[in-house]
Amino acid sequence: MTLNRWNRRHFLQLGSSLLLPSGVNTLLRDPTRLFPVGACDWSLGKRQQLSALQVAKEIGLDGVQVSFGEPGLPYDLRKPAVREEYRMTSEKLGVQIASLAMGELNNRPYAADAEAEQWVADCIGVMTQMKQKIVLVAFFGKGDIKDKPAEQKEVIRRLKKVAPQAERAGVTLAIESWLHAEEHLRILEAVGSPAVKVYYDVCNMAVKGYDIFPDMRRLGRDRICEIHLKENGFLLGQGVIDFKKVKATLDDMGWNGWLILEGATIKTKSLVECYRENLHFVRTLWKNS
């Protein structure tokens, strides 16, 4: 697929990253790369730390998924000075910020915590300032809503409340949870906003026993906004996930966007070595896309 075949949705999803200086923009330097590859800052051992960008540079990644956490931390993105530091470092290193992620919601449940609810609203404002389009809204650990209808109902209520703000900002709140496709769709349809979509993690869904290929197709191209490529205890391509079939399914769906690496390390290699191998695997597999 060539650059002139990108569809309008893909440009909107990558959004303002295409407006960044050419030193930052890997896609403009290499127009054949339609699937930029990043990694979560926590998987790089640098949760909500600026140094995650340097580790990503060392590995050769296109970008980093950056954590947005509770207020007051050293790299709290609510602070203009911190956002500027990220911007300058991103430009200097040529490593993009792929998206944001609210992993702290696994400890402070969105369905029950008033401060957590406010943090999501805060993050929308930050995304506008940082020209970001996607934030992962996590529902694991204490925030798990699987088989919890009361919590799911409250999540729907809160998302309906904040969705208009996200719509005005042109950003996406991306649910990542243990829910299967039909459960996700029920929430999305109940909220009824184009600003609420699904963050799809192929490993998490496989761990739950879901057949991920019809699951992805059921959600569809326009409801999956970003993807985690992950394995537990294996490098990518050496574990239980059939990544060739993942790619074929996404190709059939016409999906494109950021591929974010998570997990997929082994004890016999360093983190950097693992991620260089994972990056090589993904770029090789997607090289003709």
- pLDDT by residue (tens digit) across 102-130? 999 999 999 999 999 999 999 999 999 99
Question: Under DSSP, is residue 236 helix (H, G, I), strand (E, B) or coil?
Answer: coil
- pLDDT given for residue 289 in this prediction: 55
Residues in the chain, pLDDT under 50: 1-32
- 270 falls within a domain: yes
226: which strand partners? Answer: 199
Q: What is the DSSP string of 30-76?
A: -TT--S-EEEETTTTT-TT-THHHHHHHHHT-SEEEEE--STTSTT-
Pick the closest to residue 261 from 248, 280, 245 (CA basis).
Answer: 280
* Pair of tokens at residue 207: 């761990």
At 33 the pLDDT is 56
Cα distances (Å, whole numbers) of residue 160 to 117, 148, 186, 191, 275: 12, 18, 13, 5, 38
Has residue 70 been placed in a domain? yes
Residue 248 lies in a domain: yes
Residue count of the chain: 289
Q: How many domains does the chain have?
A: 1
- Domain around 113: 36-285
- Asked whether residue 91 is domain-assigned, the answer is yes
CB 229 within 8 A of CB 255: no
- The radius of gyration computed from the CA coordinates of the chain, to the nearest angstrom, equals 18
Confidence (pLDDT) at 23:
33
Residue 23 belongs to some domain of the structure: no
**Which helix or strand (DSSP H or E) is residue 216 part of?**
helix 212-219
Asked if residue 51 lies in contact with residue 59, where contact means CB atoms within 8 angstroms, the answer is no
Nearest one of 179, 258, 260, 172 to 223, comparing CA atoms? 172
- pLDDT for the residue numbered 34: 74
Asked if residue 184 is part of any domain, the answer here is yes
pLDDT of amino acid 244: 97
Is residue 17 domain-resident?
no
Structure letter (DSSP) for residue 234? S
- pLDDT, tens only, 182-194: 999 999 999 999 9
Which CATH number do you get for residue 213?
3.20.20.150
Task: Look at residue 128 and tell me if it is in a domain.
Answer: yes
